[in-house]
Amino acid sequence: MKKPLIGMLATLLVAGATALAGALPAQAAGAAQAPDTVQSAADTVQAAAADTAKAAPPVAVNFAGTVALSNCSGSLVRMPGSAATDPALVLSNGHCLESGMPGPGEVVLNQPSSRTFTLLSSTGARLATLRASKVVYGAMTDTDVSIYQLNTSYSSIKSRYGISPLTIADTHPTQGADIRVVSGYWKKIYSCSIDGFAYRLHEADWTFKDSVRYTSGCNVIGGTSGSPVVDTATGLLVAVNNTINENGESCTLDNPCEVDQSGAVTVHQGIGYAQETYGIPACFASGNRFDLTLPGCTLPRP
């Protein structure tokens, strides 16, 4: 891990255009449809298909919603069902916890915390200091996440500083998606794509499951740990940045290796990784109440 510093519519329309083209000869043979009507229908479908085939403009990703920790990066986040009046949450890495890196199998749950976070503006300027009331969850088993609950609500942050949280997507990230890794610590945004997914990612004593592998553009460094990974097509947070293979070693600290289902080990020097977050929303009930026993919650338990 990066150690702390010390479109369905387009498919349907294209399918419709194909079906229509296939139907025209039969319709023409029956002489039941005027040529200008046929051409008009074909033109309409083709124009609609062309319009929807154009890629939607990417979401402009900036520093709004990000925070800087004393040793890492992080983000102000909400679940898809969170309300404005709910206590706000901050997401970072498990290895960024002030209590140190959790060991394999160790889970930090509902621990008091008064940790502070620097809230950033869209341009990366310092807006305010936010304070935690507790660590809701922290682990480095299967994933690498820490979730803090703040002593204030989303609506209060919005009214005072004009900042809204990033929403955590509740669906699996997509291979090939254009992404941004936004570091609040360094006030730097990395641009790349999701190259694929590592079945298992081993780093020293820790193992992460189904990790996001970046393309080479996101050459993250120490201090970027905990940065939100944002899909530019949706603006949703799809993962949390956590590591990169620095010098080509295999499965050592700061040099994670991939292990596939057959046990084969692969090393990608200079390639970074993130941990998926789509499973987190299932662990939160109304009021941002965290509950590991909720149906669909698969985060490791103590």
When pLDDT is averaged across residues 266-270 and rounded to a whole number, the result is 98
Q: Tell me whether residue 301 is in a domain.
A: no
* Structural domain that includes position 145: 66-168+280-290
The rounded mean pLDDT for the chain is 87
pLDDT of residue 4: 61
Three-state SS letters, the chain: CCCCCCCHHHHHHHHHHHHHHHHHHHHHHCCCCCHHHHHHHHHHHHHHHHHHHCCCCCCCCCCCCEEECCCCEEEEEECCCCCCCCEEEEEECHHHCCCCCCCCCCEEEEEECCCEEEEECCCCCEEEEEEEEEEEEEECCECCEEEEEEEEEHHHHHHHHCCCCEEECCCCCCCCCEEEEEECCCCEEEEEEEEEEEEEEEECCEEEEEEEEECCCCCCCCCCCCCEEEECCCCCEEEEEEEECCCCCCCECCECEEECCCCCEECCCCCEEEEECCCCHHHEEHHHEECCCCCCCCCCCC
- Whether residues 131 and 202 fall in one domain: no
Residue 299 included in any domain:
no
Q: How much is the pLDDT for 2?
A: 62
Q: Are residues 70 and 42 in the same domain?
A: no
pLDDT band at 5 (very low <50, low <70, confident <90, very high): low
Q: Is the pLDDT of residue 99 over 50?
A: yes
Do 80 and 98 belong to one domain? yes
Q: Is residue 98 part of a domain?
A: yes
**Is position 127 within any domain?**
yes
pTM of the model: 0.83
Is residue 48 in some structural domain?
Answer: yes
Predicted confidence (pLDDT) at residue 21 exceeds the cutoff of 80 = no
Do 43 and 75 reside in the same domain of the chain?
A: no
Is 2 a domain residue?
no
Same domain, residue pair 199 and 233? yes
pLDDT tens-digit series, residues 101-125:
999 999 999 999 999 999 999 999 9
Same domain for 87 and 236, yes or no, is: no
Question: CATH code at 157?
Answer: 2.40.10
Whether 155 is in a domain gets the answer: yes
Reported confidence tier of residue 57, pLDDT bands at 50, 70, 90: confident
Residues 265 and 285 in one domain: no
Provide the pLDDT for residue 86. 98
**Which of the two residues, 51 and 151, has the higher pLDDT score?**
151
**Domain count of the fold of the chain:** 3
